[in-house]
Structure 1
Amino acid sequence: MPEQRQQATVPPELAGLRLDQALSELFQEYSRSRLQTWVRNGRVLVNGRIVPVRYKTMGGEQVELTAELSPETDCEGQDIPLAIMYEDNEVLVVDKPAGLVVHPAAGHPDGTLQNALLHHAPALKNLPRSGIVHRIDKDTSGLLMVAKTLQAHKSLVDQLQARETRREYLAIAQGYLTAGATIDEPLGRHPTDRKRYSVRRDGKDAITHYRIAERLPGHTLLRIKLETGRTHQIRVHMAHIHHSLLGDPVYGGRLKLPAGAGSELITALRAFRRQALHAETLGFEHPASGEWLEWRSELPDDMQRLLSILRSEAVDE
C-alpha cells in the first residue's frame, strides 16, 4: 500500500494529552483508531523513538507519522470525459457539465464524476470521497475542486469551513429583482419531503449574496456568491424570496411566461428543464504554495442560447 510521511511539532496547548489524543489534533484527516494502530505498529516516531499510545506529551516533541493509505471507497473508475481546468500534484479543478452526478447514490450507482476521477487518477481512491471536497447538483454546471493528497484535502476543507474560498455562480431567476441583497436564512430537510430542503428556524446557517447582472424579459440574470455551502442552498433561498431559478424542477413551481413573449422565447423557456445555475468562478489558496488561484468557467451552451433569445426579446420591446 502507498505511504505518506508527515511531520509536526506538538504545541504547548496539547501538553499532557495521551499521544493518540494529541495525534488526533495534529492529523485530523485520520481517525483516532487508525492513528492508534499506526502507533502500535511503529509508524509514529516521537523525537525519533517509538513510544506507546499512552505516552503523555510534554509539548515541543517532533512527531513523524508514516501513514499507510488504504482505499476509502468501493467506487470503480470509468472512462468518462473530464474537462480539467487545472491540475498539479496537490489539486485538480474540474468543469462539470450539467447532467453529471457528482457521487454514486440511489438511482445513480455509476457514471458519476467520482467514477471519472478514479479512472483519471486511481490514487484518489485513498482519499475521502475520492478527493471531492464539495459538490454541485447534478443539473448545475461549473467548477469543482478536488484534492489529490490528504494534506490538500484538509487544507481545502478548512478553507471551505472558514469561508475563505471564492465560489460565485450565474443564475437566471424568474421575475424582476430591483436590487442585490443577502439572504441569511437557515436551511434543513423539508418537514414532509425528505428529498427537498427548506428554510427552517432549526436548520443550519446559510448565507447567499446576490447582485443583479442583467435585467431580462420576465427574468433577472444574477451573480450569486456563496458564504456557506448547504445542499440546494441557492435554489431554496431564491425560491424563498419568490424568485425561483428558471427551469428548477424541484423548487421552481409553475413556469411564468413574460407578458407578450414571442413564440421563440416561449418554446425556449418551456424546453429548459434544468435549474439555470452555473458555478462560474472558483478561487482558493493553494494547499502547498499558499498562492491564491482562481478560475472562471464559460456559461454552457444551453444557458447562452436562452440568454440570447431573452436579450433579443428585450431589444424588441
Structure 2
Amino acid sequence: EPVPLRIVHEDDAILVIDKPAGLLTHPGSGHANGTLVNGVLQHVPDNQYLPRGGIVHRLDKDTTGLLVVAKTEAARQSLIAQLASRSMHREYLALVLGAMTGGGTVDAPIGRHSHDRLRMTVRSDGRPAQTDYRLAERFARHTLLRLRLATGRTHQIRVHMAHIGHPLVGDPVYGGRAVLPPGLDLDAIAQWRRFTRQALHARRLRLIHPDSGELLSWESPVPEDMEVMLDLLRTVGHG
C-alpha cells in the first residue's frame, strides 16, 4: 500500500522528508511494509539499487521531523561523509521531565542493554556518543530543550536524557513515570495523558548539497500533538 510522504525538498540528488509519528524508517521484525523506506521506493523506484534505499540516518518510529535521503550513490557517499565529519547539522526539540537550570553536554558511550535487547543503555564498552543540549523554555516540572547530536547512536537522545535524570515526556521505554504539570483541570489532564510517544522532534537540518556544494537548511514546525503539550505547560506557567 502507498506510504504518503511529506516531502519538503527534492532534486536529482536528495530528498528531504518530514516524518510523522508512527512511521518506521526501515522495515524491521514483523514490519515488512508501511515504512518510510517503502514510501521512498514507491516515490523513487531507482532507490532500490542503493543500500538501505538511500537512507543514511534514521529517526525512531515515534520521533517526528526531518530526514534526508540520497537519490544517487555519489550523494549517499557525500551525506555519509558529512555525518561522519559532523558537518551535517541536526537539531532536535525535546520535552523532558524536571525543571533544568542550564544546558550542557552528555558524553557517555551507548550500547545494547544486557538483558533487554530492544533497549539501549549507557555502558563503558558502548560506542562513543555525545549530545549537546540547551534550554529553550523552562516550566515548573518540565523543560523544553534544543539538542544537537555529535554522533547518531540508536535512541541516543532518549538514553542520554534518561541517564542524566531527565527522561523524555511520554517515552514508553526510557521515560519513567508520568509527571503532570501543576494546576491542570480534568480536561487538560486527559489531554496530557493522550500523549503516548516520546516528545522528540527533529526540527532543523542543515547540510552541504552533494552536487552543488551549496549550504541548504530546512526547519520543520513543531507537530500538533507536541504543541498541545507545550500550550498546556504555558497555560499553567513557567518555573
Which TM class, normalised by the smaller chain length? over 0.9
The answer to whether structure 1 residue 147 and structure 2 residue 70 are counterparts is yes
Structure 2 residue corresponding to 1:136, chosen from 56, 59, 62: 59
What corresponds to 2:210 in structure 1? 287
Aligned to 2:87: 164
The sequence identity of aligned pairs, in percent, is: 56
Is 1:93 the equivalent of 2:16? yes
Alignment match of 2:172 (pick from 249, 258, 266): 249
Cα distance, 1:214 vs structure 2: 0.5
Structure 1: tracts of 5 or more residues without a match: 1-77
Q: How many angstroms does 1:216 deviate by? A: 1.8
**8 Å CA contact 1:265, 1:310 repeated in 2:** no
| Preserved CA contact (<8 Å) 1:186 1:203 | yes
Q: What amino acid maps onto 1:295 in structure 2? A: W
Residue 181 (structure 1) aligned with residue 101 (structure 2): no
Between the aligned partners of 1:200 and 1:265, the Cα distance in structure 2 is 38
Q: Which amino acid aligns with 2:76?
A: H
Shift of 1:270: 1.7
Q: Does 1:270 align with 2:193?
A: yes
Show structure 2 runs of 5+ residues with no match. Answer: none
Q: Counterparts of 2:182 and 2:228 in 1: how far apart (Å)?
A: 20
Q: Does 1:312 align with 2:235?
A: yes
C-alpha deviations, 1:181-203, integer Å up to 9, x for none?
Answer: 00000000011111000001111
The answer to whether the Cα contact below 8 Å between 2:182 and 2:236 also exists between their aligned partners in 1 is no
Q: CA deviation at 1:289?
A: 0.8
C-alpha displacement of 1:306: 1.2
The partner residue of 1:108 within 14, 24, 31 is 31
Which string of whole-angstrom CA distances, capped at 9 and with x for unpartnered residues, describes residues 212-263 of structure 1? 0001231101000111000000000000011000000000011122344432
Q: Which residue identity lines up with residue 264 of structure 1 in the other structure?
A: D
Q: What residue number does 1:55 align with? A: none
RMSD: 1.2
Contact 1:262–1:313 (Cα < 8 Å) also in 2: no
Question: What does 1:9-20 correspond to in 2, within 5 Å?
Answer: none
Runs of 4+ displaced beyond 4 Å: none
Residue-pair matches, total: 239
- Preserved CA contact (<8 Å) 2:181 2:236: no
- Alignment-derived partner of residue 229 in structure 1: 152
**Structure index of larger Rg:** 1
Aligned partner of 1:117 in structure 2 is 40
Q: Which of these residues, 119, 124, 129, is aligned with residue 201 of structure 1?
A: 124
Answer yes or no: is the 8 Å Cα contact 1:184–1:205 preserved in 2: yes
- In structure 2, what residue type is equivalent to 1:291? E
Q: Give me the whole-angstrom Cα distance separating, in 2, the residues matched to 1:205 and 1:295.
A: 28
Q: Deviations over 1:65-87 (max 9, x none)?
A: xxxxxxxxxxxxx4221110100
